[in-house]
Structures are given as C-alpha cells and as structure tokens.
Amino acid sequence: MSHCVLGGTFTCVHAGHERMLRMCTGFASITIGLTSDAYVKRHKIYPSLPFARRLAGLKAALKRHGLLSRTGIHCIGDEAGGAEKMRGLDAIIVSGETLPAAQRINAIRRKSRLPVLRIIAIPIAYGKDLKKISCQSIYEGKIDRNGRLLKPVAIQAGTDNPAKLKGAFAGLRKVFGLKFRLQGHSEHTGVPAHPFNQETFFGAKNRAHHAWMRANERNGANRKGNGNGCGYSIGMESGLFELKKGVFIDITVCCAYDGKEETYGTGMGFVVPAEIARRIRSENSDLSVVLKEIAGIGGIGRKNGAIGYFSSGVLKRREQIEQAVVCAFVPRIARAKAIKIALL
C-alpha cells in the first residue's frame, strides 16, 4: 500500500499515538489531519495546547520514526478532515475507539463512488493504572506518556471492615504493586444482611457506587475520576449461592468501578451447613449472628470469617477478599495486554 491517512488532536504524543505512527512506516506517503484550535474548543477537548505547539510535537514524533519527509500535515475542522473525498488513498489508520469515524468516512466515500479505504484499527494503549492512556491523565501527572504510574492509584473501598480492607490491600498489591492508596468507609448495600444469589452482586455494586460518590462527587472530581477523587472504587459482598436444592455455597463478590464501567470477580467459596443456611434465610439473619449463637464468637465477619471457623483456621476471610478483588480486575488486565490489530 502506498498512501495512508490518520487524524487527531495530538495534545501530547503518547504510547497510543506512537502505535499509530509505527503502523505508518509501511506506507510510502502519509497524510495527517491535525485538529484546529476551533475544533478543540467546539468539542471541549481539554486539556489541550495551541495548534502550533501540537504541530511541533507531532513533527518531532514523526522525525523520531523517520516519517517526517513523507508526511503531509494539514489543519482539519471536522471529523472526516477531507478523507471522505481525497483520491489516491489506500488506508485509514484509527484507534479502537475512533473506528466508527472511519466507518462513517467510508460510507460517505461509497456514496460518492470513491474506493473505500482499508481500515487499520490500532488497539487502545493502556497504562499501568489499567486505564486508557490519555492526555488528561498525563496532564494531571498521574502517568507518563508511556503509561507508567507517576502517582499512586487512589482506590476507595465501600467498607470499614478490617478483614475486608486487609484482603483488599493484599489483592490490590498484586494488581498495582505498591503504587496505590486505599481508603475505606462503610456504605449502604441495599440488600439483606446476608444476601442470597444475585443479591450478592447488587450489594457489591451498590457499595462500589456509593464509595465512588463519596470519593469523587463529594470531593469535586468528575465521574471519570479526574480531579481529587479516586481512580477506582471497590465493593465487596459475601452471599450464599444455591448450587442445588438445599445446598448453599458462601462466595465473596467484588465489584470494581471506574465511574463508567463495572467489572466483577469472586473469591473461593465453601459449602455452608444446610441448617445454618436455612436459619439465615428464614430468620433474615446474618452468618456472623448465627455463628455467634452457635460458637459464641462475636464479630467473626470482621476477623477470620466463617471460612476461618469452618476450616479451623486453615483459610481466612481476607484470602477470600483478596481473590475476589484480584479477579474483579482480571477483565481490565486482560484488556490492557491485548495487542491485536484489526484490519477491516
């Protein structure tokens, strides 16, 4: 292929942009549309820099890749930037999130009886915070241009339970290393004291959402976690799941929330004696309350938990929590490592 086109604002050239530029190396001619200051203002793309500074940064990046001499850069004021009518183009390079724009451009070209462009969709680049590398996060000093953490990831937990917080800390350390800070506060769950089945997921979700509101919306940050709030909130809820009639397994569910998306994970489970499960349901009680009556141990849920009691200390509740927290981030970890390039 001989001629490709791409576009963007390029406030700061980061790892996501670098992926796109590397894909350009296979083309003899490159056209880049750089958004105008008016476009940036109209679409409220902040933070941003004046066109001249963005142009200089883009040229420097092209020079690093040995592409400057074969690249033409022009100012664009709309999404298509002229790609919908340009002749002699072979391909358009986009990121995974701007793929729809390329498809709209091809639809216009098709109506105009121009050859459609081959779409090369580059995977979104994620940082060590497991979020898309963005100029916003770079501007706020959270990450560098390659997605490395410059500040600890702030995480708000919807609990003040010491066992849960200890397990959450251990799990988050496996995900983020030492670059995080964890705070906890008791939150309303909206479900029974010991939920059953799907109620457990609702409880975890409600804890995460309330924790998010506490950390962000009450501290002047926005729903994306930008500002002085947290980057993630987590909610942890233990509940009984009916495997078959009369057989219940105690499982801890964790919901990880970033203001837009929830991801879930669970920890190890164990079968609760049928009589105890029956009492919890019929009396609308709690596993900790029932165990206090049976074993005389108060506040077991804030210590080693029911799993500690039934396993004679072989396992502890914080281990359940640790597993659930790590598993809640698995979808984000998997997405961040995906590098498959889509050719459409």
Secondary structure, 3-state, 179-217: CEEEEECCCCCCCCCCCECHHHHHHHHHHHHHHHHHHCH
Given this model, what pLDDT does residue 72 score? Answer: 97
For the chain, what are the domain ranges? 3-124, 153-336
How do residues 151-184 score in pLDDT, each as one tens digit?
Answer: 999 999 999 999 999 999 999 999 999 999 999 9
Distance (Å) of CA 102 to CA 39, 80, 81, 109, 284: 18, 8, 11, 11, 55
Confidence of residue 223 (pLDDT cuts 50, 70, 90): very low
Confidence of residue 344 (pLDDT cuts 50, 70, 90): low
What fold does the segment set 3-124 form as a domain? Rossmann fold (3.40.50)
pLDDT at 107 over 80: yes
The position carrying tokens 């004021």 is: 77
Let me know if the fold of 3-124 is the same as that of 153-336.
Answer: no
Please name every residue paired with 264 in a beta bridge, in sequence order, or none if there are none.
Answer: 255
Q: Which helix (H) or strand (E) holds 249?
A: strand 247-257
The position carrying tokens 């919306």 is: 217
pLDDT at 224 over 70: no
Q: How many CB atoms lie within 10 A of CB 49?
A: 18
What CATH architecture applies to the domain 153-336?
Answer: Alpha-Beta Complex (3.90)
The position carrying tokens 């200051």 is: 37
How do residues 228-274 score in pLDDT, each as one tens digit?
Answer: 689 999 999 999 999 998 899 999 999 999 999 999 999 999 999 88
Q: Return all residues near 21 (Cβ < 8 A) that are at least 6 apart.
A: 13, 61, 62, 65, 67
Contact (Cβ atoms closer than 8 angstroms) between residue 125 and residue 14: yes
Given this model, what pLDDT does residue 54 score? Answer: 96
Query: Is the four-CA dihedral 43, 48, 53, 57 of positive or negative sign?
Result: negative
Q: What is this structure's pTM?
A: 0.87
How do residues 108-118 score in pLDDT, each as one tens digit?
Answer: 999 999 999 99
Given this model, what pLDDT does residue 62 score? Answer: 97
Distance (Å) of CA 165 to CA 3, 162, 177, 256, 311: 55, 5, 16, 14, 21
Mean predicted lDDT score pLDDT of the chain: 91
Q: What is the mean pLDDT of residues 126-147?
A: 94
Q: What is the DSSP letter of 154?
A: E
Lowest mean pLDDT among 32-41, 163-172, 185-194, 304-313: 304-313
Lowest mean pLDDT among 13-22, 206-215, 225-234, 330-339: 225-234
Residue % of the chain over a pLDDT of 70 = 93
Given this model, what pLDDT does residue 218 score? Answer: 63
pLDDT at 38 over 60: yes
Contact (Cβ atoms closer than 8 angstroms) between residue 5 and residue 86: yes
Given this model, what pLDDT does residue 219 score? Answer: 57
Alpha-carbon distance 89 to 29, whole Å?
Answer: 9
* β-pair type (247-257, 262-266): antiparallel
φ/ψ of 175, rounded to 5, equals: -85, -45
More confident residue, 341 or 261: 261
The position carrying tokens 């183009």 is: 89
Given this model, what pLDDT does residue 332 score? Answer: 97
Alpha-carbon distance 76 to 113, whole Å?
Answer: 23
The position carrying tokens 């919807």 is: 158
Contact (Cβ atoms closer than 8 angstroms) between residue 17 and residue 7: no
